[in-house]
Structure 1
Amino acid sequence: MDKKIYIAGHRGMVGSAIERVLRAKGYTNIIGRSSKELDLRNQQQVDAFFEEERPDIVIDAAARVGGILANNTYPYQFLMENLQIQNNLIDASLQTGVDKFIFLGSSCIYPKFAPQPLKESSLLTDTLEPTNEAYAIAKIAGVKAVEAVRKQYGKDYVSLMPTNLYGIHDNFDLTSSHVLPAMIRKFHEAKLAGDVPVNLWGSGTPLREFLFVDDLAEAAIFALENVLPDDLYNVGTGQDLTIKDLASCIQEIVGHKGEIRWDSSKPDGTPRKLMDVSKMHALGWQHQVELRDGIQRTYNWFLDNQDNFKEVKL
């Protein structure tokens, strides 16, 4: 409980959830740095930080993230900045003798038309979804770096690939957010405007899986407290639903009574992204928060933080 744990990206949705759950479990020696204090894209700054702090455990929850629009508009930033962040963290951890490194990625590392549900073995078997290819390639490089460290140096480094995440401290900025928080904000604002129609991207037919961020935090701590036999694990619920069903659920929770209009001229993205989570289940971890409860908790947080919720400026 007194091992020094560095959470990279501790102020983001994922990093803050990991810190919150760690502290609730009694961990006390947790460190973090804001992006103003430490630019993770800068190798010299990262190396100096690791030399000074010498963490025992590193959890990499830092990344440049966004939805379809942001990924498609800024592919260079999504590729380069994520490569810089993870390369600096992994190499500094290796050079300073970090005992355990937990790398957090995304289900978008898997091919667009990989067999469903997505197994870890599908990695690099086919082409990626074009709209988030840059981000996916960066994350695949991180997975392979972790695998190489394990193979060459015998270190307890592991990659966790979560499905679509949502929850407390989510990003509700409509130009860069993911589908679930964007829907919460759209339905809420439409309700306040007199239940006006809500316009949503795509056909509504793609299937998606969603994981409450505290469940990912629990998975990260499970990886922290155990020596996992492999280098790559999917983290999800193993359950999915159509985007139309998601919209109906959010609409009901928010209390919007108006029409939903689907704009099929906008991209749908990957037709299905369901994770095979049998490897994590076999080790003893599984999710606890069901989707409806998680959306309600997220909406409650949104209502309490509308004046200061996270806005990502591109």
Structure 2
Amino acid sequence: MGNRILVTGGCGMIGSNLVKRLVKEGNDVYVIDNLWRGKLEYLNDETGKPVIDLDTHFFNIDLSVGNECDRVVFNVDYVIHLADIVAGIDYVFGNQGELFRLNNLINTHVFNSVRKAGKDRVKGLIYVGTACSFPLTRQNSLDVVPLKEEELFPALPESAYGWSKLMGQIELGFLEKETGIPCCTLMFHNVYGSPCDYGERSQVIPALIRKAVNYPKEPFNVWGSGSQGRAFIHVDDIVEALCLALEKGWEHGYIQIGPSVCTSIKEIAETIVKISGKNIEIVYDTTKPEGDKARSADYTKAKTILGWEPKVALEDGLRQQYEWVKSQIEKSGCNQ
């Protein structure tokens, strides 16, 4: 018999892929999602059938409201907390106060439900942090030195999103000490893959893929100079890390999940154009924000503790996501 596992944000890109993997491995999986960005259809298998019983195992809950998730948390062995408010850079920097407020509420309510359930009920809690929580001073140069977990403090994230996720990590540490419930924080770098939001609130890769698919009806504009870079990691590698964490990630503090290579947005844009097979003019809009200059991960800790390292080649992952977005646009008959 498998474990009873709750995945918050289980209808998003990461969550839906994780749910399918956990179900396949014989676990009894419960999902909480308010469907702000996720979709129920993301939980469907190849035949179009949901991999969980939506009547008994899916809960449309707003986690920013207190006590709403008690009834689910009290019924599971493990909680994997993915849910948060995040979108593309324009949304993140245009809604910082509200985003900070909501993410702190979401985190503290989930943690409080786990606290009330207690160690006798909940065997472990995995929280997902972000590389955005690392200090701006370590991400404001194009001369990239891979980030290490011990560099997280003194804290100076650039965005409210990074601050809100960091507050979650700190609160989780207090919860672990207070209750004795084993905890794990995985700090993700820039995750891409499918299924995904590719509309107005989408992040850089799906947004650029959408523009390439729609070109020339939609211009292929890139926000910023294109020199800014990120450590892009495919969702399949992320799911593998989460499953490994369930097995052996407990009580090891913060663990980064991402590659040691920093890839520029310019390279991403050019690779997407190559995959499209179109003669696309790339326009860089330097009036738009581009966030942190560059970052990558020293994933030594993940490799040592979890036995994890990235496996999906970037171009292979981009090609897979391009085909998925293209199929969705063709299916809908219009832009999202």
| Larger RCO: 1 or 2 (CA < 8 Å, sep 6+) | 1
CA distance in 2, matches of 1:136, 1:304: 33
Structure 2, unmatched stretches of 5+, are 35-58, 140-144
Structure 1 residue 177 displacement after superposition:
1.3
**Paired position in structure 2 for 1:80:** 101
Structure 1, unmatched stretches of 5+, are none
* Superimposed CA distance per residue, residues 239-274 of structure 1 (whole angstroms, 9 cap, x where no aligned partner): 121111111011111222121111122222111121
Q: 1:169 to 1:29 in 2, by over 3 A?
A: same
Q: Which ranges of 4 or more aligned residues in structure 1 deviate by more than 4 Å?
A: none
Percent of matched pairs sharing the same residue: 30
Asked if 2 retains the 8 angstrom alpha-carbon contact of 1:4 and 1:55, the reply is yes
**Paired position in structure 2 for 1:7:** 7
Asked if 1 retains the 8 angstrom alpha-carbon contact of 2:211 and 2:219, the reply is no
TM-score by length of 2: 0.84
Structure 1 residue 90 displacement after superposition:
1.3
Structure 1 residue 276 displacement after superposition:
1.5
Q: 1:126 to 1:30 in 2, by over 3 A?
A: closer
Asked if 2 retains the 8 angstrom alpha-carbon contact of 1:21 and 1:214, the reply is no
CA distance in 2, matches of 1:203, 1:292: 21
* Superimposed CA distance per residue, residues 80-107 of structure 1 (whole angstroms, 9 cap, x where no aligned partner): 1111111111121122131110101211
**Residues 1:106 and 2:141 are matched in the alignment:** no
Selected match of 1:304 from 301, 319, 327: 327
Q: 1:186 to 1:41 in 2, by over 3 A?
A: same
Selected match of 1:243 from 259, 265, 278: 265
CA distance in 1, matches of 2:12, 2:270: 28
Structure 1 residue 184 displacement after superposition:
0.4
Paired letter, 1:137: W
TM-score by length of 1: 0.90
**Paired position in structure 1 for 2:43:** none
**Paired position in structure 2 for 1:43:** 66
CA distance in 1, matches of 2:156, 2:258: 22
Selected match of 1:65 from 82, 86, 96: 86
Paired letter, 1:118: L
More deviation in 178-187 or 257-266? 257-266
Structure 1 residue 229 displacement after superposition:
4.5
1:83 counterpart SS class: helix
CA distance in 1, matches of 2:219, 2:281: 5
Count of residues paired in the alignment? 301
**Residues 1:30 and 2:41 are matched in the alignment:** no
Q: 1:226 to 1:126 in 2, by over 3 A?
A: closer
CA distance in 1, matches of 2:254, 2:332: 36
Aligned residues: CA RMSD: 2.0
